[in-house]
Amino acid sequence: MAFTQLFYSFWWLIFPIGGMLMGVFAMISRHLTRTETLRMIKMYADQGKEPPAALLDVLRSDEDRAYDRDHYRYRRRYRCGRSPWGAVVTFGALAAGFGYFGHYGEGGPTFIALATGFGVAAACMFVLAIIRSLSAPRYGDDRIDDDLKK
């Protein structure tokens, strides 16, 4: 009985805890990848060979990648880059929905609070999207092509 009650009150905790578990899993698997890479480089070194560049590339930190134009291009080509415009649309739609039903429907102050939060998020993502679209290198940019030729 008590457990059922508890589950009714705290079912939403599944989401943050699930996120945490995923974070731990990602951290551990990233660590395994990197240590295995080191092991392979060591094998190359023991044999007196030069390790392949792709292997050394795995060791680069994410900060290195963030400022790397090749990587931008890679992400763009394989479409795994996340555009901030999608977040603008999502947060804007949520803000509109919650705002409408908070004001005209029966949502009450909770919905208004949610709408305010999502609205602020949408505005921030909008600013971020504009900054990024102004500063990020474009696909087919001459400068990137020059960098790649090097």
Binding site for another protein (CB under 8 A): 2-3, 5-6, 9-10, 13, 16-17, 20, 23-24, 27-28, 31, 34-35, 38-39, 41-42, 45-46, 48, 51, 56-57, 59-61, 63-64
**CB nearer another protein, residue 64 or residue 146:** 64
Q: How far is the CB of 150 from another protein (least distance, A)?
A: 15
CB atoms within 10 A of CB 41: 16
**CB nearer another protein, residue 1 or residue 134:** 1
**CB nearer another protein, residue 27 or residue 93:** 27
60 half-sphere exposure, CB direction, 13 A CA radius: 13
Classify 106 in phi/psi space as left (phi over 0), alpha (psi -120 to 50) or beta: alpha
Are 21 and 6 a contacting pair, CB within 8 Å? no
Q: How far is the CB of 59 from another protein (least distance, A)?
A: 5
**CB nearer another protein, residue 28 or residue 93:** 28
